[in-house]
Amino acid sequence: MQVAIHFGTHGTEPERMIRTLMENRDWLLGNGVEVVPPGRYKGVLDESLSSLKGGDAPPEMEEVIYDALMESDNVRRMVISQASLIGTPPRCIGPGGLFPFSGPRMRSVAGLFPSAEVEVSLAIQNPALQVPHLISRINEPYDRVMAGIDPRSLRWGPAMLRIVEAMQGRRVIVWCYEDTPLIWPEAVRRIATMPTDVPLKSGLAVLGDLLAPEGMTELRDALTNAGRLTTEARRSIFAAVLGRHARPEAISETVPLPGWTQDLVDEMTDAYEEDVAMIAALPGVEFLAP
């Protein structure tokens, strides 16, 4: 059994992965891949994690978890996805940095399936935007959430090192949320193990959220007229159409946090770019890049 766990991370639209996979459910089930709807494992995973306290599930418990999550027979790969699996927003910022408990938490979730071939995936995001999103999800004043933490210390590099170490050789698939419009079809296919010659439903959904109507028309016409494309050629079309037709309000964000200046945002962005380069080269990481 293969188990693919998409942690997503808060602020990177993790629910989009499940929605897209469910759109392709017929092909997936016909090929031994079951995508578990979030409502089906509500309570099941949390209760199991709580009882195990970080340990691996014994065979009897693992079998019970499979029975609770899966409805189909002859499943070779199970996919689950939920951002809260990596931790609730209040636990994603702390003196230990960004997502300080992500490593042990992801290891514990993987430990629910000790007999399976487990791989995990997540999208990371520039902390200059991800931190404000997390703070918006925490019902506490900014000063209490940060408690003197320097925003510059909230970086993905140390978090990813913790994750890779905790996963103990399991495959970790990573991409940048900022690249999602260009790589979404490849990310979905990778998680679902869908071949490139199988039509992917909702593969253009991310671009559809960013483009003006005339942009989507141009994109569909360009893809239709181009015939069979390489991944690189398709991404080139995506980028060109985005450059001409992206809606400004869809690709720009403000950072309304006390004391945050453009200089601070620029510093955090530069550090993020450094971290991304390091993460892409980490042994054990499969990095999806445009």
Q: What is the pLDDT of residues 85-105, one digit of tens each?
A: 898 999 999 999 999 999 999
Longest dimension (CA), the chain: 56
Question: What pairing do the DSSP bridges indicate for beta strands 2-8 and 285-288?
Answer: unpaired
Q: Where are the beta strands (DSSP E) in 213-256?
A: none
Find, among 96, 98, 122, the residue nearest to 109 by Cα: 122
Which domains, and CATH codes, for the chain? 2-199+266-288 (3.40.50)
pLDDT tens for the chain, 290 residues: list them. Answer: 999 999 989 999 988 999 999 999 999 999 999 999 988 887 899 899 999 999 999 999 999 999 999 998 899 999 998 878 898 999 999 999 999 999 999 999 999 999 999 999 999 999 999 999 999 999 999 999 999 999 999 999 999 999 999 999 999 999 999 999 999 999 999 999 999 999 999 889 899 899 999 999 999 999 989 878 899 999 999 999 999 999 988 778 888 899 999 999 999 999 999 999 999 999 999 999 99
Q: What is the pLDDT of residues 136-152, one digit of tens each?
A: 999 999 999 999 999 99
Determine the Cα–Cα distance for residues 133 and 64; give it in Å rounded to an integer: 36
Determine the Cα–Cα distance for residues 241 and 250; give it in Å rounded to an integer: 14
DSSP string, 180-245: HHHHHHHHHHHHHT--TTS--TTTTHHHHHHB-HHHHHHHHHHHHHH-S--HHHHHHHHHHHHHHH
3-class state of residue 8 by DSSP: strand
State the pTM of this model: 0.93
